[in-house]
Structure 1
Amino acid sequence: MAQPDEPHPPVVPSCPPPSKICDVVRSERPRSCCGMAMAGFRTAKYQLPEWHRRNAGVCYQALTAGEQAERGRAEAKHLVKHAAASAQRAQEYSKATLGQRLQDVHFWRMELQKEIMELDAETNLLAAQKLRLERALDATEVPYAVAVDNLECRERRQPPDLVVDEVERQLMKEADLIRDIRDLLKRTIIQAATQIRSNRIQKENCELDWSDKVETYHIDDKCLSYCTDSTNVQSHPSSVKFEENASTPKSWAQFSHDNISRAEQEKLASVQLRSLINSIIHDASEDLRMQRAAVNEAFDTHCRELDDAKLRLEQHLQQILKDIGDEEANIVNLKKAIRDKEAYLKVAQTRLYDRSFRPNVELCRDEPQFRLVNEVEELTVFVEALKRKLMESEQNLKNLEETRMKLEKEIAVKANSIFIDREKCMGNRVRYPVDLEVASYKQ
């Protein structure tokens, strides 16, 4: 059978329990004489105690709601008064902090501006020194070309006249010195360019920081002028969030301090580099003058040595020609000896060959047979020894011929070597370089 659709009223825990008439139990009902025919009408209705209890619950809820509304109005009135006072105090305090912040921003802005001007002036001075380095580097092209030309001219001497003599060492030392100077000047130019770039980068960093400070000063100054009567204020609920990359007052001040400190370091490095450039140009000029004198002295000494070397080589050539004649005669004797021994060998081998046709039992290993075999072996050993000696003599003759050709070639190129050292190299050195220190100031 269907149950009632309306639920029982809720019971408020804080209210006192209703009258005890609501506690009557529905299960104690008198039985009807009508039996099962009246069962549906009985179960579909509330009992009287339930009706009273529901009415009491509704009245209690209405009373509770009224009390809560009255308390809420009192609290709202107090909150409005408190919020107005707090908002006024908060705005005044924010205005004071903004004023202090403007002073801090102005201080760092002026410090950055001063540093920017000083760094720019130092960069210009370093750029002038860099120009001196470039002019000095250009001035080393002539001495380097002279040294390289001397080395290349002396490379045209034909072997074995290509010796690493004192002239070679001094020229190599001169070329290495000029290369080292050029490399040092190039490295210093690169260092100066790097320092100039660092100066400008740091100047740019300071300028960016200074620009941010100027913009921030204008923003905070505008914020300081805002009030509740301003017409350009709007609601920005999302602005109360702190940015993830926001700085702290300490890190903010440290950032500008670090920029200024790095700018001071770059200025100090720039001043030290300018002093180093002066020393490099002066020392390089002195080293080149001393090395030029050493090379010229080595050339004079070596030209005298060339004449003596040529005379000694001619004496050795005469002795080699005599040895070649003796060796050719020795080869002729060896060839004749080999032909003689081969004739004896042919006789012995022919005898052994003919005796190999002896019939039947006559093919005997008799004493003549053993003697012929020993003779062939002895002659073969002598022939092989003579051939080896002939090969050795022919190789000796070949070596003597090669030595003769080398000596003749050496003597032939000796005059050319003297011409190269005296005429080509020393004649080219008369256009040796100007002073680097003076050249670095030329326009």
Structure 2
Amino acid sequence: MMSSQILVSRPHFDTRIVAQNGSQPPVTNPETTVKENVYAGTSAGLATAGYRSAKYTPGEWINNNSDILTRAVANRNHAENICNESKTLKADTDAGTLRTQTEGTKQLGARLQDIHRYRSELELFIERLNAETDLLIGCRRRLEKALDATEIPFAIATDNLTCRERRFGPDLVEDQVEEELLKEVELIRSIQALLKKTLDQTLNQIRLNRDVKQTLELDWSDKQQAYSLDDQCGRYNNRSTDTQWHPSSAVLQDQVCDEEVWRKFTWDNLRLAEREEVASQALRRLSERVLQETAEDLRAQCATVDQAFIQRCMELSQAKTQLELHLGQILDQIGAQERNISYLQQAVYDKEAPLRVAQSRLHYRTFRPNMELCRDQPQLSLLGEASNLSSTVSALQQQLYEARKSLSDLEESRMTLEKDIACKTNSLLIDREKCMTHRTRYPTITALSGY
């Protein structure tokens, strides 16, 4: 019973397969089991029953060795190929790396030249804008001085007009001097408006120049910093000790502008600076012309007003001289007329006594009695004498009246002449002593030009 249990066949399984497929034995084939159990009843089978399943067959050993050798040869060949490819790849990559690095260094050098060229142009335009702005600032100072200088002519002209308002009588006339003074006032006002407008344009242009200069300086500063960085990058080599890893540096290249936009930005700044420089030069030339022409116009009008004053003073002097001459003649005539009146009064007085005598004779002869009261020759003579004396006295009195009336007219003429002479004297005092003296402080053409 026991032997039969021992000789019962058991399934055969390979431990390598178990190791590969897990702990469960594979399903056995009944036919294979019958073949393997042919020697189950022998003593050898009993002796090796527990060891056979873990052994390799000679064929398997040979195949295993062959596989190992084949695999070793393949691995060696593959390793040799990899080494050869690695050498070739290393040589190619070294050459490519050197080439790309050389090309990068070359491009950095070209970039440094471009930056240097644009930086030099920016420096040149910055210096030109500085110089132009300084010239424009000087022009602004001249405009301000010229504008301040026009206040003196304006004050002189208005003061002349105010002083001439104090003329009186017939001399308060709108003559050529007043017309020229009014023209001078209007000219000064128009010149002041023009100078203010030019000054405002100059101040605005100075601001634009400074804004453009600031833009150029910012661009120059950026290029200076970029030049320093690119110069530092160009000095890096494989033996540099200050290089580091920056894996994400290439990602930022998608967020920057291209080279054409970079050039266009600088060229736009340069063109803007050139436009402002041309505009500044044109404005400076305009300011020079405005200053020169306004100064010349003011001096020409000043000369015209002065000439009108001289002519007017000459006319006043001549008129005053004539009036004084006539006044002297009037005074002489007044004296003669006064003597004539005294002479006529004396003549009338002298005729009173003869007339009283004649009238007394005629009166007393009227008392003759009776026939004695006749018209004799003495009576007729006395009548003629009395009539003649009365006529003479009447004529003398009429002449005395005319003389007195003439004296009154002469006195009126004297007063008129004296008033007119005083008027002319006052006008001469205003025009010659006040106005013309005040006009000697008129600014020179140099001061009116802003110097």
Q: TM-score, normalised by structure 2?
A: 0.46
Larger Rg: 2
Q: TM-score, normalised by structure 1?
A: 0.47
